[in-house]
Structure 1
Amino acid sequence: MDARLAARFAGVIGKRLSSVECYGEGTSNQGEIGVGAQAPSLFGTPSQIERYGCDYLYLSDTQQIEERDLWITYQDSRRNDPTRGPEWRMTYPRASVVMREARSGDLIWVARDARDRGQVLVVVAEAGSEFAGRLDRILGLEMRLDATVVGRKRQRFADVDLRSTGAASLDADDADLMAILGVEVRTPNESKLDLLLSELAGVPLAGGWPSTRDFSAACRRVAALEDPLSDVDQTMAVWFALTNELFFLYEKYKIQPELDAAFANRSTIDVDAFFRVANSLRGRRSSRAGNTFEWHLADLVSRLGIRGHMKRTLPDGTAPDFIFPSADLYLDPTFQAELLTVLAAKTTLKERWQQVVNEGKRHAITYLATMDRGLNASTLATMRLSGVIPVTAKAFIESDYSAMSNQFMTFADFFEGVQGRQLGAVDWGISLNDLPLLCP
């Protein structure tokens, strides 16, 4: 899926807020944002104060605040001093609930409307939130990867190049975020929905939906990669992106009758029914994303001839997603710990990566496969200190984490390491025929 950002916005600039720009922190009564040298390319160099209509949006993991039909002004604060160069600032209404909620370190974007040049959208995302990571990754500024502590000093805005952003590879939650911003999302693979429905014909349904195992297998068949093992990083990226898009399309196909039955032709909306349907959809989407990712990994593991157990509960109550070369050898105190590999799999992390720290502690390192493209510098540093190494697609490392590529392992490097340790187990005297082969 891809978002048509340039059709929605004439331009976007973004940065981290400092304390003097956050009226709600009480360090300044001005209600001003320093917009720096990037603003004139978007708003020009007027000699007087210019006023724009403005909508404000605040996003965090716990709340969403939207304010419409407010204002924002743009001006050179030194316009009356001919001895000094321009200093461009924007002033927001101090009564704005969004700007009162904003805090130092939060990410802010100022976007000028492409359809109405007199209209501006200001988006503030709480530092470290999932929304901040997603929007920062989509817009391509990589502010989340900067571990610099922001104090009172104003930061400079950076200009978003709407022609080269991360908006060309969206998942379903990204699409929801774009909808909040009023950005149209396109699904180039919409024609493949019929292929998916054909692949799912005859598949057992539970509650009207196929299992994630069957759905992921159907998506891999629709992808029809000639040789999935020729580039495992590319394979994972393709399977993951196509699965996201196909589920987005399949979800709409499946839930339209459900929504029609619940809400169509009703004089009033049953609020309880609305939230019941919404919560059901969100829960299903979250579960689907994680489980299909695990089945894609299991398929590659099987194709590579790697032995191991999936979801085997250990005596300590933990159940790592994958243990290589087997859970039985993991429990054998005489087997060399250096030949074991524990892999967890989570499409998105937030704070949930900490759940894997205590899994598979016979080995000092836990590998964590993820497709999360919004991790920040602080999270990556803490993961490293906790002995957790993130594994992701090479293309994601190059496009989203180029400044911190040494913090990641590619799928190719990870699988090569597992295969090497498996050979070590054979040298140790273990027969491959005695080890479990995953069959996704």
Structure 2
Amino acid sequence: MKPGYLSEYFEGVAAKRLSAVEADETRSNQHEYHATKKVQAFLGSPEEKTRMPARFLYLTDDDPDPIVEDAFLTLYNCRKGKPRAPEYHLYFPTTNVSLNASEGDLLVIAKRRDAGLLIIIAENGSSIARQIEWLFGFGDLAHPGFSVKSELETEQDRIEFASRFILENIGIAVETSEDTFLDDMLTRFTGCFPTTRDFSAYARSTLKDLDPRENPDMVLMAWMEREEILFRTLERYLIADRLSEGFADEASTGADVDGFLSFSLSVQNRRKSRVGLALENHLELLFIENGLRFTRAAITENKSKPDFLFPGVEEYHNPTYDSLMLTMLGVKSTCKDRWRQVLSEADRIENKHLLTLETAISTHQTDEMAAKQLQLVLPRGLHSTYTPAQQTWLMDVDAFTRLAHERQVV
């Protein structure tokens, strides 16, 4: 086990595409997957039927929350007592997850180090399926059997900013901290969460000698990575402090369940909203350092507010200003289907840009973006999570800043 890599959380992972008989209960009553020898290498080859607790997830781009159900897999030798070589199968019960599965969906069986199995089924052709494939390093699942990984300590398996968010989407809490800054943060922010803008500025201040003019792609990711780690460090301390106070309801002798749920919801909402705002904060300074003129959250038609408008809102509302010299940039840390919101945010600009940190968006989605004249922008380090064909179309942060600069000086 190597800290900071997938091996810290998983002993082995197997993946395949679901066949018709594995996905369609009207085609088969067996409810089984074939456990190949490579799968047995990390699940075992028991003499007797072995039931293993498992958490099942069904993932789709249409729903931000997965379908989750706790059940089991049963590993057994279907040839036991017969004069033939052992053949192991994995029996699974009917669950809400299996009922949603379809032929061609991605199936992942992961053995966790802490507790049981994680069974992931992701909709065929979805971005989340592509992200799961990228996370575990499964590039080609065309053959019918399982592909298996058991080392999980290569450079591909290193847990970084992008992979951390995918892991959290499948219920794996990745602990990151930089405790050397904790005392300073508690003093500076008086034991509370500061505004997102202030926290972004603090995160940047802890990274010296980074020049966003020389390598804007690398610098943006470094700022985001540092802020994420510092935020989780401060959050862990403040949550632990709040939990130590308890949630006793003074009006009763029991625990204040509503108080606890409210606190839990506030933690989740803070996490979701903070990442997008942090990304905008860091981009704002990056654009300033690169000499760009812009307006953040300018008001355009129908009270729309594109995240960044270049060279500014005055030029946009000046009917004599050449619309070809205008540039708009939407910013979304993750896209899902929300990317379509950007299309109506600046009517004068026909070709729009959207910057995201989302890895491995499906080809179907990026093809639709291109057809809608929306150019996707990602930090260069995330381009490798996309297919070679997609990479030829993607734009990086450096190219975008140069484009915006060329348009403002003409």
| TM-score class normalised by the smaller sequence | 0.7 to 0.9
Alignment partners' CA distance in 2, 1:288 and 1:47 = 47
1:215 to partner: Cα distance? 1.0
Q: Aligned to 1:218, what secondary structure does the other structure show?
A: helix
Q: Which residue of the partner structure matches residue 429 of structure 1?
A: none
Contact 1:112 1:121 in 2 (8 A): yes
1:409 to partner: Cα distance? 0.7
1:246 to 207, 214, 230: 230
Q: Aligned to 2:293, what secondary structure does the other structure show?
A: coil
1:37 to partner: Cα distance? 7.7
Contact 1:138 1:167 in 2 (8 A): no
Alignment partners' CA distance in 1, 2:394 and 2:99 = 37
Query: Where do 5+ consecutive residues of structure 1 fail to align?
Result: 149-153, 425-440
Query: Where do 5+ consecutive residues of structure 2 fail to align?
Result: none
Q: Aligned to 1:209, what secondary structure does the other structure show?
A: coil
Q: Deviations over 1:286-339 (max 9, x none)?
A: 111111110100001001110011101114221100110111211222222211
Q: Which residue of the partner structure matches residue 67 of structure 1?
A: 70
Contact 1:59 1:131 in 2 (8 A): no
Contact 1:200 1:218 in 2 (8 A): no
- The amino acid across from 1:329 in the alignment is E
Q: How many residues were matched structurally?
A: 398
Alignment partners' CA distance in 1, 2:124 and 2:189 = 41
1:341 aligns with 2:327: yes
1:141 aligns with 2:138: yes
Contact 1:47 1:76 in 2 (8 A): no
1:321 to 301, 304, 307: 307
After superposition, the Cα gap between the structure-2 partners of 1:3 and 1:29, relative to the gap in structure 1 and judged at 3 Å, is: farther
Alignment partners' CA distance in 2, 1:288 and 1:113 = 29
Alignment partners' CA distance in 2, 1:353 and 1:120 = 34
- The amino acid across from 2:21 in the alignment is V
Structure number with higher relative contact order (C-alpha < 8 Å, ≥ 6 residues apart): 1
After superposition, the Cα gap between the structure-2 partners of 1:356 and 1:195, relative to the gap in structure 1 and judged at 3 Å, is: same
Q: Deviations over 1:195-222 (max 9, x none)?
A: 4445546xxx9xx532111111111101
Q: Which residue of the partner structure matches residue 39 of structure 2?
A: 39
After superposition, the Cα gap between the structure-2 partners of 1:390 and 1:335, relative to the gap in structure 1 and judged at 3 Å, is: same
Contact 1:136 1:374 in 2 (8 A): no
After superposition, the Cα gap between the structure-2 partners of 1:74 and 1:108, relative to the gap in structure 1 and judged at 3 Å, is: farther
Counterparts of 1:300-319 in structure 2, within 5 Å, are 300-319=286-305
Alignment partners' CA distance in 1, 2:254 and 2:102 = 39
Contact 1:15 1:108 in 2 (8 A): yes
After superposition, the Cα gap between the structure-2 partners of 1:330 and 1:294, relative to the gap in structure 1 and judged at 3 Å, is: same
Alignment partners' CA distance in 1, 2:70 and 2:263 = 26
Q: Which residue of the partner structure matches residue 29 of structure 2?
A: 29
1:123 to 104, 120, 123: 120
Q: Aligned to 1:67, what secondary structure does the other structure show?
A: strand
- The amino acid across from 1:27 in the alignment is R
Contact 1:23 1:30 in 2 (8 A): no
Counterparts of 1:152-301 in structure 2, within 5 Å, are 155-160=144-149, 162-164=152-154, 165-170=156-161, 173-174=165-166, 176-177=168-169, 180-181=171-172, 185-187=174-176, 189-197=178-186, 200=189, 208-263=192-247, 268-301=254-287
Alignment partners' CA distance in 2, 1:305 and 1:8 = 44
Alignment partners' CA distance in 1, 2:349 and 2:374 = 11
- The amino acid across from 1:231 in the alignment is N
1:401 aligns with 2:398: no
Contact 2:360 2:386 in 1 (8 A): no
- The amino acid across from 2:6 in the alignment is L
1:3 to partner: Cα distance? 4.7
Q: Aligned to 1:56, what secondary structure does the other structure show?
A: strand
TM-score (norm 2): 0.83
Alignment partners' CA distance in 2, 1:235 and 1:364 = 29
Counterparts of 1:74-85 in structure 2, within 5 Å, are none
Alignment partners' CA distance in 1, 2:106 and 2:231 = 30
Contact 1:233 1:410 in 2 (8 A): yes
Alignment partners' CA distance in 2, 1:198 and 1:322 = 34
1:131 to partner: Cα distance? 6.1
Q: Aligned to 1:357, what secondary structure does the other structure show?
A: helix
TM-score (norm 1): 0.78
1:15 aligns with 2:16: yes
Contact 1:216 1:295 in 2 (8 A): yes
Alignment partners' CA distance in 1, 2:383 and 2:184 = 31
